[in-house]
Homo-oligomer: A and B are copies of this chain.
Amino acid sequence: MPTRSTSSEKGQIAKIAVVGAGLVGRAWAIVFARAGFDVTLWDGDERAIASSLEVIQARLEDLAKVGLVSDVQQVIRQIRPTSSLESALADAHYVQENLPEILDVKRAIHAELDALAPANAIVASSTSSIPASAFTESLKGRTRCLVAHPVNPPYLIPLVELCGAPWTAPDIVTRTRALLERAGQVPITIARELHGFVLNRLQGALVNEAFRLVEDGYVSPEDLDKTIAHGLGLRWSFMGPFETIDLNAPGGVRDYCERYGALYYDIARQQADPRRWSGVVDLIEAERRKTLPAEKLAERQTWRDRRLMALAAHKKAMEGDEEE
């Protein structure tokens, strides 16, 4: 279970450079500063830098209301925004890059990071879709580069997917994992490069079946959503699918596989027809807009963020109880 580090437990790695002060970069700054690390927050856009602490403070105040941050001003003091990349990287032990998902942008910034960051610094990218090999191959320091893909927002959803390029030093992955655990996150390690990493492949498997069931007329989009939100999704908010099936047969996971393996193989065979979503997107868009008109999307996103925050507070309380 994740625990928050305090400054006194920081150990060797203490200085974090967050590159890019958009939504993802600001969220990473909150994660690291909340854990007691010193954070520099860089952006090429002076306006983004000028407004960053104000935006971060508003998020921190929301978190403080539900007990996910204890001292807002203390966290703010850990973050130093700057528009000088040299200054942001000076003395950094770990760099988290968050620029747009465009290959040329990634290549250009990683060339700069490689030139400017201290030789022993780890350089991680938040990219969700570009493998590290695509933007680090020609770098002198390519063995210290990897992907550390967060879920939005990482201060509420702690999972981080770590995935190196073929040349990434194993020790870099190990050290990043330890660092992120000290920051209160839950890192996982992907052994080699993989399209969509793990989280989006799992989401894709389920969502593709959801589209298929609606396209074939078995269930409405609204009822399909209820199946997860009031059924299957409950256990998965605190334990994974293997633990779920391990606890769902008297003799554990092997027993479960013997009982239900044939059923799930049959289902897999019925799901082996890859389909594009284009055949059914009109229907789902129409149903969603009946449930939630377009002009209410932003309001519902605020609702989702409030629910996520309350759930994070609930989980923290439950996991605190278990550690006692």
Residues on A facing B (Cβ under 8 Å): 2, 129, 151, 156-159, 161, 186, 188-192, 194-196, 198-210, 213, 217-221, 223-243, 245-247, 251-254, 257, 261, 263-278, 281-282, 284-285, 288-289, 292, 294, 297, 300-301, 303-304, 307-308, 310-312, 314, 318, 322
Q: Are B226 and A240 in contact (CB under 8 A)?
A: yes
Q: Which residues of B contact A235 (CB under 8 A)?
A: 233, 304, 308
A224: chain B residues within 8 A (beta carbon): 188, 198, 202, 240-242
For the residues of A in contact with B, the DSSP-based class is helix
Residues of B within 8 A of A151 (CB): 231-232
**A–B Cβ pairs within 8 angstroms, 17 of them:** A2-B230, A129-B263, A151-B232, A159-B231, A190-B219, A198-B219, A202-B228, A205-B206, A224-B241, A237-B237, A247-B297, A251-B294, A254-B285, A264-B277, A269-B274, A307-B318, A314-B314
Not counting A208-B264, A261-B277, a sample of 4 additional A-B residue pairs whose C-beta atoms are within 8 angstroms of each other reads: A228-B240, A233-B238, A239-B307, A307-B318
Beta-carbon contact of A239 and B304 below 8 Å: yes
Are B207 and A245 touching (Cβ within 8 A)?
Answer: yes
Contact present for B233 and A236 (CB under 8 Å): yes
Contact among B233, B237, B275 with A268 in the assembled complex (CB-CB below 8 Å)? B275
Closest to A302 in B: B247
In the complex, the answer to whether A253 meets B205 with C-beta atoms within 8 Å is no
Complex formed: what's the CA distance from A270 to B246 in Å? 26
Stoichiometry, as copies per complex, reads 2
| Nearest CB of B to A274, in Å | 4
Q: Check A198 against B217 for contact (C-beta < 8 Å).
A: no
How far does the Cβ of A321 sit from chain B's closest Cβ, in whole Å? 9
Q: Closest CB-CB distance, A197 to chain B, in whole Å?
A: 9
In the bound complex, what is the Cα–Cα distance between A289 and B255 (angstroms)?
Answer: 13
Which of B223, B225, B242, B274 has a CB less than 8 Å from the CB of A239? B225
| Given A304-B247, A318-B307, A227:B273 Cβ within 8 A | no
A232-B236 CB under 8 A given contacts A213-B198, A268-B204: yes
Complex Cα distance A230/B198, Å?
Answer: 13
Contacting pair A218 B190 (CB below 8 A): yes
* Contact of A288 with B242 in the complex, beta carbons under 8 Å: yes
The distance in angstroms between the C-alpha atoms of A46 and B192, with both chains bound, is 58
List chain B residues, Cβ under 8 A from A270: 195, 201
Alpha-carbon distance A226/B242, docked complex (angstroms): 10
| Contact across chains for A207 and B264 when beta carbons are under 8 A apart | yes
B194:A288 contact, CB within 8 angstroms:
no
Q: Which residues of B contact A218 (CB under 8 A)?
A: 190-192, 194, 198
Give bound CA distance, A207 to B220, whole Å.
Answer: 23
Interchain nearest-CB distance for A50 vs B (Å): 24
Task: Please indicate the chain B residues that have their CB under 8 angstroms from the CB of A205 in the complex.
Answer: 205-206, 208-209, 267, 271
Question: Contact at B157–A231, with CB atoms within 8 Å?
Answer: yes
Contact of A238 among B220, B221, B307 (CB under 8 A): B307
Would B208 and A225 count as touching, CB distance under 8 A? Answer: no
Q: Report the Cα distance A29→B173, complex, angstroms.
A: 52
7 nearest A-B residue pairs (beta carbon): A225-B240, A159-B231, A233-B236, A237-B237, A188-B223, A268-B274, A205-B209
